[in-house]
Structure 1
Amino acid sequence: MKFSIYLNAQSPDGAHDLEVVEAVTEQALIADRSGFAGVCLTEHHFTGYNTYGNPFTFGAYLAPQLENLHTIISVAVPALWNPLNFAEACTTLDLLTRGRCTIGVGTGGSPREYQGLGRDTANRAALMDEVLEVAFQALDKRDEDGVEIDFTTTHSSGLLTRRIMPGGFRPSIRFARAALSDQGILDAAGRGWALQTARDELDETVRKWALYHDALDRSGHDEQTIQDARDWSLVQKMVYIGETDESALREVTPALDYLDASTAKAFQGAAGAAKFQNSVVGVAASDRDAFLRKAMIVGSADTVAREIEAHAERGIGHLALVFLYGQMDPALGNRSLQRFIDLVMPRFANASGAVPVGVAS
């Protein structure tokens, strides 16, 4: 079992934005020296759901401060991007992290995010695919090949005559796909990409994990591609560790109340939006019992360790854990994180996924 830390904190208003960004930066630095494998950054815009907004910008800020952590974008939403801007963001992050990064993509984002950027959520899968198609052509472009890339997508067009700069650190950038559906899981395996999934009960997660690994084995990709995909596939969980199960649930309840309210605003409360919400996030905090079962691991250190061990025994080898969310007091989130480091991680002898400084893995 290895662990990554997932940074997706919310702030109550603009006066607290710097405080929240400093809090998640501190968590990244704590994780960097405590045996975590990676730091996960996500993309959200003007919905109150992610203070730092752009994961590539924040990843570039963190890069020179991290000695061990692999930077994982989980996830970027290509449908909201110009394809050449997206390609450039990927190569820049790969270069600045010295190849210690994985770019996860997905169709996520709320209707308000799509609306704000002039996109239609009904076409989100097609929009993602067309942006990725052009971005991958751009990533392959070399000055000496003499080829011009003349492209048109639903929301952009252009002519690329020179290579994307800067170039990535590695010959090929490592990608992943966030997926809840079987179709998305099979697509990730077929591309030789890592899988990022979340918000399911263990039996369903294990089924999806088996589907993915079986398809990956049959994908025909080379051994290194398959190993990289296995190494950086992950399951995301929100975590809170208290002194007891009862105190943990009591202390985390205000954060859950906030997530319930903010999700309702982000997804606008309409039936169509609710269907979109379920396809993107699986289960929302409005269904409290299901959210606790599927999206979270809450309790004492012993309870959390037992739940993680259950995942390990079923073959889930990488958990991305969120410790600060729902406008939680950073001190509370840090206390939970420290309990995890002190009382849970030592129970997993091979938990450290840290890569030696200067080594691109």
Structure 2
Amino acid sequence: MHFSLFLGQRVSSAEHDTRAIDLGIEQAVYADEHGFAAVYAGEQHFNDYEPYADGFMMASYLAGLLRTAYLGLSVVPLVIHHPLFFAERANLLDQLTKGRMIAGISAGRPREGGAWHKADLEPAERQRLFDAKLDVVERAWAHEPGDPPLEFDTGDEHGAMPGRLMPRSYRRGHPLFAIGTNTPAKVAEAGRRGRFVHFGPFALGPLTAIAETYRRGLAEGGADAAAIGRAMRWAIHTKMVLVADTDDEAWRLVEGAGLLPAPPWVRRRPGEETLSLQEIARRDPGPLAPAMGMPESLSAYLRRIAIVGSPETVAREVARYGDAGIPHMHVRFAFGSETDPAVCRRSLELFATEVMPRVGATPIPGPSPEEIRPEFRAEPALHP
């Protein structure tokens, strides 16, 4: 199995920004030293989630600190970015990491960015704009020095790229990228086009179903078994994880520290008002929501979003995903700024030293010589 660290911290106020950012950097370095496959930064604006805001800038800082882990972006809402600037920044990260980066991109969520004029786009228009911008990105990556100027009009930006895109990607062709989506039709389309995908938080049953949709799409697009295996290696799915010495201690920490506050669309059912989160997590969840933002029971939410317990319990639960053919888990260990950092540090330590060995965790190797542009193969690595 593979594990990625997700820097998905939330702060309760602006005074906690430094604390959250520093803890994320600390955990990123620890994860890199202990066999994690990747470290992912997100992108948020004008709220209290991921207070570093700019995933590209956070990742560029981490590029000088990490030695073996990939740098990931999860996810960049492409609709609010200029496609040529996105392509340049992705190429730069690809150079800084010597091909160990992957950019998750999406059409964003309603009201993404709040202040931008694209915030209230209808879903169909949002998807059209995403497709138009991704087309420009891919054409820019394919543009060679000496080619005619690359002309583009997304309906949001227009113009021409008169010279070359710089820097060039370190990888042959372009940096790794994935489509962030939980929609079965879009997952199938990504598979048919041979694109990687990033999933959000799912319970095992729905995740297994959408992963099978992705595999079928890959096969329909002509991918062989090896290509399907490479694609599934990057099909991350997200979990909040808290590991403690015992199950009871882990749930006590969750309950006492408020690590898993329920979002507004999640409700306790009648009779659950006096139950602990541990008790609720053991109940029949009822219908599982297909994605974030849709009504569901607290039990269903916990089953979809969280893995809590002792190293033995967490390893057993994590292994169920690997056994189901879904090998890459995207894990948050720091949740809110009110939480004692020692709790987050201990949880990550127990996961790295006691859970990962139990489930056979491995890193993901960097690009092979064949995957690197020929002109860069002889260049020494920044971090040998």
TM-score range, shorter chain: 0.7 to 0.9
Between the aligned residues of both structures, percent identity stands at: 32
| Match for residue 332 of structure 1 among 335, 340, 343 | 343
Report if the CA contact (8 A) 1:199-1:282 is conserved: no
Residues 1:48 and 1:169: Cα distance change in structure 2 (over 3 Å): same
1:266 aligns with none
TM-score (norm 1): 0.87
Deviation at 1:168, TM superposition (A): 1.0
Amino acid of the structure 2 residue aligned with 1:158 = G
Question: Which entry has the higher C-alpha Rg, 1 or 2?
Answer: 2
For 1:352 and 1:326, the matched residues in 2 are separated by 28
2:282 aligns with none
Does 1:86 pair with 2:55? Answer: no
Report if the CA contact (8 A) 2:202-2:291 is conserved: no
| Map 1:58-207 → 2, pairs under 5 A | 58-109=58-109, 111=111, 113-119=112-118, 120-122=120-122, 123-145=125-147, 147-172=148-173, 173-207=175-209
For 1:324 and 1:6, the matched residues in 2 are separated by 9
Deviation at 1:241, TM superposition (A): 1.4
Structure 1 moving runs of 4+ over 3 Å? 221-228, 354-361
Report if the CA contact (8 A) 1:9-1:324 is conserved: yes
| Match for residue 248 of structure 1 among 247, 250, 256 | 250
Report if the CA contact (8 A) 1:79-1:124 is conserved: yes
Report if the CA contact (8 A) 1:72-1:101 is conserved: yes
SS at match of 2:351: helix
| Map 1:242-281 → 2, pairs under 5 A | 242-253=244-255, 254-257=258-261, 260=263, 281=292
2:52 aligns with 52
Amino acid of the structure 2 residue aligned with 1:232 = W
1:272-291 CA distance string (max 9 Å, x none):
xxxxxx8863658x843221
For 1:305 and 1:166, the matched residues in 2 are separated by 42
Report if the CA contact (8 A) 1:179-1:196 is conserved: yes
For 1:297 and 1:220, the matched residues in 2 are separated by 36
Report if the CA contact (8 A) 2:46-2:113 is conserved: no
TM-score (norm 2): 0.82
SS at match of 2:164: coil
Structure 1: gaps spanning 5 or more residues: 264-277
| Match for residue 313 of structure 1 among 323, 336, 356 | 323
For 1:98 and 1:222, the matched residues in 2 are separated by 27
For 1:66 and 1:103, the matched residues in 2 are separated by 17
For 1:283 and 1:107, the matched residues in 2 are separated by 18
Residues 1:356 and 1:142: Cα distance change in structure 2 (over 3 Å): closer
How many residues end up aligned between the 2 structures?
343
Report if the CA contact (8 A) 2:242-2:307 is conserved: yes
1:288 aligns with 298
SS at match of 1:321: strand
SS at match of 2:259: helix
1:47-72 CA distance string (max 9 Å, x none):
21111111111111111211110112
Name the structure where helix makes up a greater proportion of residues: 1
| Match for residue 356 of structure 2 among 338, 345, 348 | 345
Structure 2: gaps spanning 5 or more residues: 267-288, 373-384
For 2:182 and 2:264, the matched residues in 1 are separated by 23
Residues 1:27 and 1:49: Cα distance change in structure 2 (over 3 Å): same
1:304 aligns with 314
Report if the CA contact (8 A) 1:200-1:282 is conserved: no
Report if the CA contact (8 A) 2:79-2:108 is conserved: no
Residues 1:107 and 1:14: Cα distance change in structure 2 (over 3 Å): same
SS at match of 1:163: coil
Report if the CA contact (8 A) 1:108-1:280 is conserved: no
Report if the CA contact (8 A) 1:74-1:103 is conserved: yes
Deviation at 1:223, TM superposition (A): 7.6
Residues 1:80 and 1:200: Cα distance change in structure 2 (over 3 Å): same
1:214 aligns with 216
Residues 1:227 and 1:302: Cα distance change in structure 2 (over 3 Å): closer
1:294-350 CA distance string (max 9 Å, x none):
11111222221111111122111111111111333332211111111122112123x
Amino acid of the structure 1 residue aligned with 2:83 = P
Over the residues paired in the alignment, what is the CA RMSD in angstroms? 2.7
Amino acid of the structure 2 residue aligned with 1:165 = M
